[in-house]
Chain A
Amino acid sequence: MKVIVDEAKCCGAGTCVMLAPDVFDQRDDDGIVILLDEHPGEDLHGVVREAASVCPGVAISVSEEG
């Protein structure tokens, strides 16, 4: 799995950080998403897919290849 974030679309809600703190964080100054782990382990795939699905800014996508 490869995680892709779009900083321009991120609204800073932090929904992804609450769901998967090992994969996502937020910048201190403006709250924009920081991708901590572009290739999260299999145990995190479910929660990362959920983060992509519920992201209120539609800023996260997941590619199953890579």
Chain B
Amino acid sequence: MTGDVLVVGASAAGLATVEALRRKGYAGRVTVLGAEAHLPYDRPPLSKQVLGGSWTPGQAQLRTPDALSALDTEFVLGDPAVRLDAPARTVHTAAGRTLTADAVVLATGLRPRTLPGQDGLAGVHVLRTLDDALALRADLAPGKRAVVVGDGVLGAEIAATGCAMSVAVTLAGPQPAPLAYQFGPLAAGLLAELHAARGVELRLGSAVTGLAAEDGRVTGVRLASGGVLPADVVVVAFGAAPSTEWLAGSGVLCDNGVVCDSRCRAAAGIYAAGDVARWHHEGLDALLRLENRTNATEQAVAVAGNILGEDRPYTPVPYFWTNQFDARIHVHGTLSADAEVSVVEGDPAEGRFVAQYRRGGAVTGVLGWNMPKQARLRRQDIAGAVLAGRP
């Protein structure tokens, strides 16, 4: 490929695409378009170190300014893409720019789901961007009552961080325990015990239906089971949707993400990487979209290679980690609540173990609880089909 490359999205996936292109010897022109004004920064620390205040926002930057300039790439920041013309590979921006390239990479990530009536209500937050994290941090004074809506990874991390900030945190969501639909009763039960022991009030098993408010400020969270959880601050963290609205009418198929072939290609010269990409995983023979940090960069490497003609399928073993209080949990492969779970190393009672998840006799996933290396070493147990590609 000798033409220009345009990367839409200036976060982990977008940056890793550029780095992989340069590493693979691509010397052409590269432009990165970012909706936010910030230089590329990392999102996992937002719910932990940045929210908790142990890191300055600068410490969450993905690269130093020197490292960015070494990429010989133009970063157009603070200007969201608003429209794509896929056959022409032209992107139009909010500020009126028109950018055309020979290859366009869509890496626009996610947008948090919100509750009805949340917009413009004081005291209600989402956490996706650095600005979101700083706004939430400013609102979380010790002694305040915060309700975190969402019992997945993000919600549970925010609850743990808030608790450590001496905020009175309640965690609300439909699952019987945090992450129960993925982790199953053993690991989710331990997570529930951990949160409760550290002072998080768990109000789980009931969906949240909306917010209560007075004079433009949130006062609580309404539960489907009836009743209101009183709150000074509410964090809505119950999932996110791929940022694809701007692709309507573009000629690129969007259905729970940008639909791509096994090469992460959505149309001729159009690729997608990271949270927004829903591609055909050849090992699983299914369309897959992964919202995790390692997928952002590894898929970016695959996209860069395919732009340059490598013509290789992207077949990762999914992986994510989460830190909550003193639990460092690492997950390889796919877990499910109905899997057969066996502890293969360590001991849950001692706060260190590796659990193996099986379905239909095949190992589909591995969870390490404070045993990151031992969990990783068991990736090889995960069913062969998934491991057909690179690690």
A13 and B330 form a contact (CB under 8 A) = yes
A40 to B44, CA, bound (A): 29
- A39 beta carbon closer than 8 Å to chain B: no
The answer to whether B23 and A12 have CB atoms under 8 Å apart is no
Please give, as numbers and ranges, the residues of chain A lying within 8 Å of B115 by CB-CB distance. none
Selected contact of A27 from candidates B328, B330, B373, B391, CB within 8 Å: B373
Q: Indicate if B293 sits at the interface (CB-CB under 8 A).
A: yes
The B contact surface, by secondary structure, is helix
- In the complex, the chain B residue whose C-beta lies closest to that of A19 is B391
The CA-CA distance from A49 to B328 in the complex, in Å, is: 26
Chain A residues within an 8 Å CB radius of B297: 53-54, 56
Question: Complex formed: what's the CA distance from A27 to B300 in Å?
Answer: 28
For B294, give its contact among A13, A31, A61 (CB under 8 Å): A13
Q: Which of A31, A46, A54 contacts B328 (CB 8 A)?
A: A31
Known: A53-B16, A56-B44, A56-B294. A28 touches B23 (CB 8 A): no
Judge whether A36 is part of the interface by a CB distance below 8 angstroms. Answer: no
A 29-66 to B, binary, CB cutoff 8 A, 1 in contact else 0: 01100000000000000100110011011100100000
Interface range, A side: 20 to 34
Residues of A within 8 A of B293 (CB): 56
A58 to B42, CA, bound (A): 8
- A61 CA to B16 CA in the complex, in Å? 14
Which residue of B19, B44, B62, B372 contacts A31 across the interface (Cβ within 8 Å)? Answer: B372
Is A5 an interface position by the 8 A CB rule?
A: no
Q: How far is the CA of A27 from the CA of B373 in the complex (A)?
A: 7
Q: Which of A15, A18, A50, A58 contacts B20 (CB 8 A)?
A: A50
Which residue, of A14, A46, A53, has the highest number of chain B Cβ atoms within 10 A? A53
- Chain A residues within 8 Å of B370, by CB: 30
Whether a CB of chain B sits under 8 angstroms from the CB of A1 is no
**CA of A19 to CA of B300, assembled, Å:** 16
Contact across chains for A46 and B42 when beta carbons are under 8 A apart: no
Q: Is the CB of A13 within 8 A of B319?
A: yes
The reply to whether A54 and B372 form a contact with Cβ atoms under 8 Å apart is: no
Query: Given A53-B19, A56-B294, is A14 in contact with B321 using a C-beta cutoff of 8 Å?
Result: no
Complex contacts, A49 vs chain B, CB 8 Å: 19, 23
Given the interface pairs A54-B294, A54-B298, A56-B44, the reply to whether A18 lies near B373 with Cβ below 8 Å is: no
List 15 A–B pairs whose Cβ atoms lie within 8 Å, in order of A's numbering. Answer: A11-B323, A14-B376, A19-B391, A28-B374, A31-B330, A31-B372, A49-B23, A53-B23, A54-B16, A54-B297, A54-B298, A54-B301, A56-B293, A58-B62, A61-B67
Q: Is the CB–CB distance between A50 and B301 below 8 Å?
A: yes
Shortest Cβ distance from A47 into B: residue = B23
How many Å lie between the Cα of A42 and that of B90 in the bound state?
39
CB–CB B16/A26 < 8 A: no
Across the interface, do B372 and A30 meet the contact criterion of CB distance under 8 Å?
yes
The reply on B371 being an interface residue by CB < 8 A is yes
Question: In whole Å, how far is A15's beta carbon from the nearest beta carbon of chain B?
Answer: 6
Contacts of B19 in A (CB 8 A): 49, 53
Residue of B nearest to A28 (CB): B373
Q: B155 to chain A: closest CB distance in Å?
A: 19
- For chain B, residues 316 to 337, give those with C-beta under 8 angstroms from any C-beta of chain A: 319, 321, 323, 328, 330
CA distance A49 to B318 in the complex (A): 22
A64 vs B17: C-alpha distance when bound (angstroms): 21
Given contacts A26-B373, A50-B301, A56-B293, contact A12 B321 (CB under 8 A): yes
B23 touches A18 (CB 8 A): no
Chain B residues contacting A11 (CB-CB under 8 Å) are 44, 321, 323, 328
Give the nearest-CB partner of B297 in chain A.
Answer: A54
Chain B residues lying within 8 Å of A17, measured Cβ to Cβ, are 376
Q: How far is the CB of A23 from chain B (nearest CB, A)?
A: 15
CA distance A17 to B319 in the complex (A): 15
What A residues does B376 contact at CB under 8 A? 13-14, 17-18, 26, 31
